[in-house]
Amino acid sequence: MQIGLVGLGRMGGNIAVRLTRHGHEVVVYDRDPAAVKKTVERAEGGRANGAESEADLVSKLSGEIKVVWLMLPAGEITEAAVQSVGGMLGKGDILIDGGNTYYKDDLRRAAQLKDRGVDYVDVGTSGGVWGLERGYCMMFGGSKEAAGHLDPILSALAPGNGDIPPTPDRDREGLDARAEQGYLHCGPAGSGHFVKMVHNGIEYGMMQAFAEGFDVMKSKDSPLLPEDERFTLNMADIAEVWRRGSVVSSWLLDLTAEAMAKNGELSEFSGEVQDSGEGRWTIEAAMEEAVPVPVMTAALFTRFRSRSGNTYGEKVLSAMRFGFGGHVEQK
């Protein structure tokens, strides 16, 4: 299958390469010509073709249904690309936004493109810089027809069953078998990014719990404590032992252990933790629904506070963000 891909940053380039590994053909464009050249060179089997502009990319797509995937930063850049590329597509074509777009923007864009006969699909994509090898967990929204057409693309990008044991009772009626492969059609346009938004809100809370726990342990040798109650604990060893059969074992803990093995003090990280928007949007959605989310709210506010002075725990947060997404918060 052929697909156009606009945006070849940390994830876009890897998505293009992974698709070529599975026999798909990609036409790629980025405003940086060097990124286009690099992606074409990394592609397998000569299955990548570079484009010089969005218009050039669309012109190089063949077949009855043209498919274009945007992998761009949320906001004005994506908005401009949706309007530009969407205007070049015709009835029955599909435009995908795989970035971290606010789901209410998806609702508006889907309605606009529907008037032109273009299907809009929002794909919440998780996997960060590791997705090329591990695959991407994807939550997507759009029409059933578009979802069916895109299945070969999404199944190639997804991680597959891997070595994760099957969940009991998953064979009952009403459950989507694609979820076991690591991708899921969540519902109409906007629903994919909504689910990914909440996923990232949960991620904030999980990361904050790890950060606070390690901070408590790191501070156990504080001079504020009676001398006989002080422990000097090795953070790298604790992170490692928790990876081995602990209830809290997870990929976030794996990344924490990796960072601490290199430098237990995490002195290369500033601890000034940024937020990319999804945490805020999740809390806004919770307020609209009158659903209490105290953990996510506290995690977001802690990130705000970290930018005016920070703790060891916030360096742990920085290390995790760098590990899974390449977010640079280093000194």
Catalogue the active-site residues.
196, 203
**CA angle, residues 316, 250, 243, in degrees to nearest 5:** 85
Among candidate residues 135, 132, 138, 159, the one with its CA nearest the CA of residue 39: 132
User: Quick one: DSSP state of residue 76?
Assistant: H
Among candidate residues 232, 210, 209, the one with its CA nearest the CA of residue 222: 232
d(CA 244, CA 143): 42
Secondary structure, 3-state, 154-188: HHHHCCCCCCCCCCCCCCCCCCCHHHHHCEEEEEC
d(CA 166, CA 157): 20
- Whether 230 and 220 have beta carbons less than 8 Å apart is answered as yes
Burial class (CB in 10 A: 0-12, 13-18, 19+), 143: middle
d(CA 53, CA 29): 6
**CA angle, residues 4, 15, 321, in degrees to nearest 5:** 135
120 sits in which H/E element: strand 119-126
279 residue type, one letter: G
- Whether 19 and 48 have beta carbons less than 8 Å apart is answered as no
d(CA 140, CA 183): 8
End-to-end, the C-alpha distance of the chain in Å comes to 44
